[in-house]
Amino acid sequence: MPEASQPVATFAAEPQAQDSVGFQTLLKKEVMRFWSVLGQTVTAPVITALLYLLVFAQAMSGRAPVYEGVSYTQFLIPGLVMMTVIQNAFANTSSSLTQSKIMGNLVFLLMAPLGPLEWFGAYVLAALIRALLVAVVMLLVTIPFVHLPLAAPLVLAAMFVLSAGSLAVLGLIAGITATKFDHLAAFTNFFITPLSFLSGVFYSVHALPPLWFKASHLNPFFYMIDGFRYGFFGKADVPIWQSLSWAAAFFVIVSTVCLWMLFTGYKLRK
């Protein structure tokens, strides 16, 4: 008798659209994963950001030109919040997927009745929850010391979702392509961290020389931080429609690439 064929790990061919149990389970798993180590996933980045705030607020106050009527400390806080959101949204999805691949338990997710869209939605939504938690804790800690106005709450919410969502999707792409944590560290060290620090977190780009001023406008993280800052002050280095357009375009591009990887099983199934 011929041998029975071995099952191949792949996505469910026809996931039940009406059944959200798989999506909810994966979402709960991802939330509980970072929730179980809050000291590492929330407390540590908040403390790091507050240390940046303490150092730069003392060193740069009165030296770095910012918006009229906005103190340097007020200017700095939204940038630090968004930088922390960007880094945590990326870390949540990328580390989770890479860890699953290295530990060998990714096959159980691939064989579960989960479609690519459910994967995509659960991972990104869990990253948004973590990013929101980090942002809220940071803002709550700074409220007693610095007053932040709220000029455009809808813009603030839109920039948060687009920015954190984009980096969560980018984290999925990094997690799919990485085969070990060294690859993930290279992605973080040579892409995420440099673009975060060169995005106008600690300064207004109008203070830069012409060459670097033009170069900063090619950095998508700059528009994320600048648009998020607009939500508080109603002022920004570029018109808000540019920030929203860049953030939305970046989200669409990375989402298209990520969904192609998920639907084709790129580096996920063999």
Which of 157, 142, 161, 129 minimizes the C-alpha distance to 80? 142
Query: What is the reported pTM?
Result: 0.89
Q: Tell me how crowded residue 69 is: count the other CB atoms within 10 A of its CB.
A: 9
The Cα–Cα gap between 109 and 203 comes to 44
Q: Counting runs of H as helices and runs of E as strands, what totals does the chain give?
A: 12, 0
Label residues 32-54 b or e (16+ Cβ within 10 Å = b).
Answer: ebbeeeeeebbeebbeebbebbe
Q: Tell me how crowded residue 18 is: count the other CB atoms within 10 A of its CB.
A: 5
Residue 183 vs residues 104, 110, 191, 264: alpha-carbon distances, Å: 17, 22, 12, 22
pLDDT tens for the chain, residues 1 to 270: 444 444 444 555 444 444 588 899 999 999 999 999 888 888 898 899 889 888 887 777 666 667 888 888 899 999 999 999 999 999 999 999 999 888 888 888 888 888 899 999 999 999 999 999 999 999 998 888 888 999 999 999 999 999 999 999 999 999 999 888 888 889 899 999 889 888 989 888 888 888 888 888 999 999 999 999 999 999 999 999 999 999 999 999 999 999 999 999 888 875
Cα first-last separation, the chain: 26
Label residues 93-108 b or e (16+ Cβ within 10 Å = b).
Answer: bbbbbbebbeeeebbe
Residue 8 vs residues 5, 111, 234, 266: alpha-carbon distances, Å: 9, 8, 54, 14
